[in-house]
Amino acid sequence: MAAADRLPVAAAAGSPCSTATPGCTEWVAIGGGPARSMIYRTYSLDTRNDNIRRAVIMVHGTNRNADHYFTTVTAAAFLAGALEDTVVISPRLTACNDKLEPNEVGWSCTGDSWRSGGMAATHPELSSFDFMDEIVKKLGKKSVFPNLKAIVVTGHSAGGQFVARYQMSNRVHDSIGTPMSYVVANPSSYAWPSATRPLPADDATPENAKGAWETDKPHTKFGYGAYDASACPNYDRWPAGLQNRTTGYTAKISDDVLKKQLVSRTTTYLLGQVDTLPLGGFDSSCPAMAQGATRRARARRS
């Protein structure tokens, strides 16, 4: 029996499962099954636990190393003295050429990909955001987590892209019955809600953006205007903008609804002071570069 197919050892209430091993994983059925995806978690999502007050769902980056992210966030919960009343979850979004277990869903790495709610390569009726919806709905079951008071969905880098777009589009936020919030950290691009873009002047010039790490002074002098699309005709297409959303999770959601949800849902944006170099899976495509020369610049101007 493959390691990923072994039955997970259910963590008893008050005893968190805190290692990135098969015993701390479980499968989540998507679309009613048999399609499924795996998560790491400190407590079972199917076993009643009266102790849990908070849930943190951490989405991995472009390397799809959910085990590392699980270890990091579990360590943070330990340092915060929160392991006993917080369930930490790290979903594994398999994509590209990842080896899949039977019935495991695999998503695309390009276009409307796993980062933006794109449809699965193996199960074209399912999107990556459907997977997150299923996790959230499990947390919302009062028969399992009767005292859960808050759900935080967070992600870093490519995971930050996922969370930024999930925040503005998901259909469970208002129906789950538990307050949800979002933390977006250092994504390489955003879904811009309008066709305008930052003008390459003042703090928005590439030179100033790349040198931003040399000073603690915030860059705030930005201007916005029409973008010259002659060199980048697809600059405003999803997932960089709201246009051409013909497939995927967001296809049937209007622009107005996405914009309303973007500004109304509690969200914290984190950006690195020295995140000004094209490293770590940096998106240098023309739609991304239209948003700024660096990750930090894109976050400042979004």
pLDDT tens series, the chain, 302 aa: 344 444 344 444 668 999 999 999 999 999 999 999 999 999 999 999 999 999 999 999 999 999 999 999 999 999 999 999 999 999 999 999 899 999 999 999 988 999 999 999 999 999 999 999 999 999 999 999 999 999 999 999 999 999 999 999 999 999 999 999 999 999 989 999 999 988 776 655 666 655 555 566 666 666 788 988 998 999 999 999 999 999 999 999 999 999 999 999 999 999 876 655 666 677 888 998 888 878 877 777 66
DSSP per position, 133-200 = HHHHHHHT-TTT-TT--EEEEEEETHHHHHHHHHHHH-SSTTTSSS-EEEEEES-S----SSS-EE-S
Q: How many CA atoms lie within 13 A of 206 on its CB side?
A: 6
Does a cis peptide bond (omega within 30 degrees of 0) precede residue 198? Answer: no
Burial (0-12, 13-18, 19+ Cβ within 10 Å), 70: buried
- Give Cα 56 distance to the centre of its chain: 12
Nearest to 240 by CA among 170, 201, 289, 173: 289
How far is CA 202 from each of CA 87, 225, 298, rounded to the nearest angstrom? 45, 14, 14
Distance, in Å, from the CA atom of 157 to the CA atom of 2, rounded to the nearest integer, reads: 30
